[in-house]
Every structure is written in structure tokens, then in C-alpha cells.
Amino acid sequence: MPQPPYIRTKPLIPGPVTRRTILKAGGTLLLSVFPILPAAAAQILAVRVWPAADYTRVTLENDSDLKVTHFTVPDPQRLVVDIEGLELNPTLKSLVAKIQSGDPYIKQVRVGQNRPNVVRLVFDLKEEIKPQVFTLEPVGTYKHRLIFDLYPVKAVDPIAAMIEKGEWSRADAPVGSPELPAPAPKPPVAATPTTTPPASAPVTAPVPAPVLVPPAGPVLAQPTVPVAPALPVPKTDLPEPAPVRPDPPRVAAQKGDKGGKVVRMMTIALDPGHGGEDPGAIGSAGTREKDIVLAIAKRLKFKLEEQPNMRVMLTRDGDYFVPLGVRVEKARKVQADLFVSIHADAFMLPTARGSSVFVLSEKGATSTAARWLANKENLADAIGGVNIQSHDKQIASVLLDLSTTAQINDSMKLGKAVLGEISGIARLHKGSVEQAGFAVLKAPDIPSILIETAFISNPEEEAKLRDNGYQDQIAAAITKGIKRYFAANPPLAKGRQT
């Protein structure tokens, strides 16, 4: 059957040929020749690792926000992280070498291109952990950050940590505290003759001295002073020139003084500001506030623990970040009698100089500089990086509690005593204790002060802060101020918290 003739019913290009029509046709042709280019992959700018007993933090700093998924795998314990929109680069590969052998939680990390545009990180772990993975928006000098916080399943208790270090008696632990671990077993003593000398037998060298206390007691060959007072070590046997801290406070607290009266231990929480991701202020010579204040805090801890019946808890004892609320909560957990936060801040003008002492204010700052410093210090959580979604609401609520008038009054007495001693060795920024809304001073039941030891933004004072002698002088002055405060305001018997 013949086919009907082909009849064109519509023109190929309807209507008149216009410039718009030609441009559309050209664009379609270009898209058919050149495929759509994929979006540029994000770039990792820096990787950082902050190991600590509290937790280990791993930070990936990058130029854009990243999408990430993670999961844990048991037997052996691993944390697997997939990061989308990312290609492997040398900076990211360098993460492998940044894991330290002494890291409490990470054994090693493996990095690889899991599939196109997806990088996989596998953290081989030393124990089971609770991971927190979150992102942070750019702040301060940082760009976008991807944070991995690896927490132990059972959080580190500050009292348990102090017991383990021999800085707290198990009998003195507050009622209601989490179950504290048993004392760590000591290494076995080398084999000795089956016949053990009687307790009165003299100890002669070079044979190792027998253990005359229960098996958990220390071995005399250790360079530290034994906790048990039954075996005093002659001073001539101690290593020199390093000083050895005596241990009468814990003995007095357990056995009482000669009159039979039990002496209550005074617990002081020292808070070296900043740490980890938050370097604090940085001087013109590159000195970081977080390093200086930790060094001063350690000197101060040593000097305070040389005093009768004083013990010290550091809110951080290494280079890692501690949120403001956690610092306060740590002090409350050990029922601290005092809270002393140590800083060496900067000001807008490099000419600012002098030491200062601050307490909390309910009515606003006592000066523009005090308000500026408080606002700057209160940014620590944003710079250090807090996972807002999982941040303990109970801990955060501490910062919202209004401190009592009595707490502020006691803080003022402590501040005046400390400022008076500092004035003898350093120039003061202002001759009186100042007040401002520092978040870290908002423990409602602990007298709390914040000490600005000097302005690290002032070149002359930066040089002083780097000097070991000046650090020691500041620590000695604060110690004298605390002793003056306790002499005028002896602590009452403290009921154990439940």
C-alpha cells in the first residue's frame, strides 16, 4: 500500500528567528559537548590531636562545612568516620603521624580514599569510647572545624584521679561519690629469702628493704616519699636537687594533731585558663597564654601542698581544652573551698600593663576594661569548641545560677588578700579588686577569683611571664594571699555532699 506523502505541519523553528532563540540553542549545544563539572572538593588545612586523660580530641580544620557519618565497631574497638566531599591530601595523611604512643584512647589511625569524593578514617582504639563528632563554624582565627571528641565510657572522676596520684585519701572521699577504683597494685618486689626479717631488723644496703606495710604499700626503692608514715626516709636518701613535697596534710587529716583534734583538709581548685584548641592570648614574641598559666598553676600547686592541710586539684594538668562549665563542676565535685582561675590576658593597647584580681559581679563590671576582659574570656567555649547538642545540661546550668551575696563577699575577701600580696612583687593594673561577669566564677557555693598575672600583650610583661623567677614569685605571692585569707576566715567543718 503506498505511503501517504510526508506533510510538515510545523516549522522547525516556530516564529521568527530571534537572538534569544539562537542563544538558547548555543547553550544547549555547549552543555552537550562539555559535561557539568563537579564541585571542587573541600581542602583540609590543618589537623591537630589533643590527648588527655579526660578525653582525646582530633580536629580537622577545613575551608568549608563537611558532611560526616560515623559508627563504632567492637572486637577490636574501632571508630569509623566517613567524610563526604573530600579528597585525600598530604595534610590529612599527616594525621597518622600525629597519634602519640601515650594517647589514652587512640592506638593508631588509618586514612584512605574509601570511594570517589569520600575519605574514611579508622581509629583503632585502646578501649571502648563514647565518641562525639560535630562541626564548628569559623570563629577567631579558625575556619570550619570538624571535631572528634573521644570520651571514656566511664567519665574520669576528679577525686578518683587524685586518689590514684596519692593526693587524696580514700577515707576522705565525699559520700555519694561515684564508685572509686581500688588502689592500683604495686609492681611485685624482687624475690627475697623465704625468711622475712622481723619489723625491728635494720635495713641495710644494697639488699632491697623489705616491705613493712601491707602489700599495697610503696617499695622503698622508688624515688618518691612513701605515703605510709611508718617508714620515714632519711632526707639524705632523697634525690637532689629536686625538692620532695612532705606529706603531713594527709596524715593530719586522718589521724588528727597532737591534741587529738582532727584537722580538716582545705581543698583548692586551680584553674589554668584556656588550653588545647583555645591558646588564649598570644604575645608579640609568640608566647601563648595557655602555656604560661599552666606553668604558673603547677608552681602554685607545689607551693600550696607544702602548707599544712592543703591539697590542690587542677582543672587541667596538660594542654587540652576544658569547657567553662566543666571547670566549675570539677571544683564542685571535689568540694573545693576556693576556686582560683589563672590568666595572662591581652588588651587592645600594648601599653596596658599590671596584675589584676577579679571576682564575680551581679550588677555589671566595675570598669570598661573589666567588662571587655570578661566578654573575651567568656568566648572560650566558642573558640575551644563545645558540642552544644550533647553538652551536659546540668553542668551548663551551673553557669546560669545566681551566686549568693555571701559567696561574692567571701570572694572579695580572698581577692583583697591575694591582691595585697601580689602588689609586693608586681605592678598593679588597678589598686582594688575588680568585678565583672566572668562565667568561670559562677560557682554558687565556692569563693572564686580570677587572677590576671600580667598583660601578655605588653612586650615587657610578656618577657616577665616567660621568666621562671617571675612565675615563681607570682606563685609565692598567691600562696601567701591564700594563707592570709584562711587565717582570717578559717573554713567551717564541711558536711559531706550526697
Number of domains in the chain: 2
Q: Residue 177 has what pLDDT?
A: 55
Inform me whether the pLDDT recorded for 155 exceeds 50.
Answer: yes
Q: Among 85, 118, 152, which residue terminates a domain? A: 152
Inform me whether the pLDDT recorded for 358 exceeds 70.
Answer: yes
DSSP state of 365: -
Task: Summarize the confidence of residues 364-381 as an average pLDDT.
Answer: 77
For the chain, what percent of residues have pLDDT higher than 70? 68
Inform me whether the pLDDT recorded for 199 exceeds 50.
Answer: no
Question: Cα separations (Å) of 163 from 155, 186, 243, 317, 494?
Answer: 15, 14, 22, 15, 19
Of 276, 364, 318, whose CA–CA distance to 58 is shortest?
276
Q: Among 152, 170, 197, which residue terminates a domain? A: 152
**Identity of residue 393:** K
Q: What is the pLDDT of residues 200-253, one digit of tens each?
A: 434 333 434 333 333 333 333 333 433 334 434 344 343 344 444 444 344 333
- For cell 575588680, the residue is 434
Q: Indicate whether 173 belongs to any domain.
A: no
Task: Summarize the confidence of residues 124-153 as an average pLDDT.
Answer: 94
Q: Indicate whether 232 belongs to any domain.
A: no
CATH code of the domain containing 284: 3.40.630.40
Q: Indicate whether 179 belongs to any domain.
A: no
Q: Residue 473 has what pLDDT?
A: 96
Same domain, 273 and 414: yes
- Rank 236-250, 257-271, 386-400 by mean pLDDT and report only the highest: 257-271
Q: What is the pLDDT of residues 406-447, one digit of tens each?
A: 889 999 999 999 999 999 998 998 889 999 888 889 888 899
Q: Residue 5 has what pLDDT?
A: 53
Q: Indicate whether 278 belongs to any domain.
A: yes
Q: What is the pLDDT of residues 47-78, one digit of tens each?
A: 999 999 999 999 999 998 889 999 999 999 99
DSSP state of 259: T
**Identity of residue 373:** L
Where in the sequence is the domain holding 295, given as residue range(s)?
250-488
DSSP per-residue letters across 36-50: PPPPPPB-EEEEEEE
Find the DSSP H helices in 363-467: 368-377, 380-384, 393-398, 405-422, 459-465
Inform me whether the pLDDT recorded for 383 exceeds 50.
Answer: yes
Question: Cα separations (Å) of 305 from 80, 183, 253, 353, 478?
Answer: 44, 22, 13, 30, 13
**What's the whole-number average pLDDT of the chain?**
78
Higher-scoring residue by pLDDT: 389, 212: 389
For the chain, what percent of residues have pLDDT higher than 90? 49
Q: Residue 444 has what pLDDT?
A: 82
Q: What are phi and psi of 327, to 5 degrees?
A: -60, -45
CB 124 within 8 A of CB 107: yes
Inform me whether the pLDDT recorded for 108 exceeds 60.
Answer: yes
Q: Among 115, 132, 152, which residue terminates a domain? A: 152
Ramachandran quadrant class, 345 (left: phi over 0; alpha: psi -120 to 50; beta: rest): beta
C-alpha 297: how far from chain center:
13
Q: Indicate whether 99 belongs to any domain.
A: yes
In the β-sheet with 44-50, what is the strand arrangement from edge to edge? 44-50, 56-62, 144-152, 129-136
Q: Residue 313 has what pLDDT?
A: 95
Q: Residue 229 has what pLDDT?
A: 42
CB 277 within 8 A of CB 321: yes
Ramachandran quadrant class, 298 (left: phi over 0; alpha: psi -120 to 50; beta: rest): alpha
340/356 Cα distance (integer angstroms): 13
Q: What is the pLDDT of residues 475-498, one digit of tens each?
A: 999 999 999 999 999 886 554 443
Of 437, 439, 441, whose CA–CA distance to 415 is shortest?
441
Inform me whether the pLDDT recorded for 101 exceeds 60.
Answer: yes
273/319 Cα distance (integer angstroms): 10
Higher-scoring residue by pLDDT: 285, 7: 285
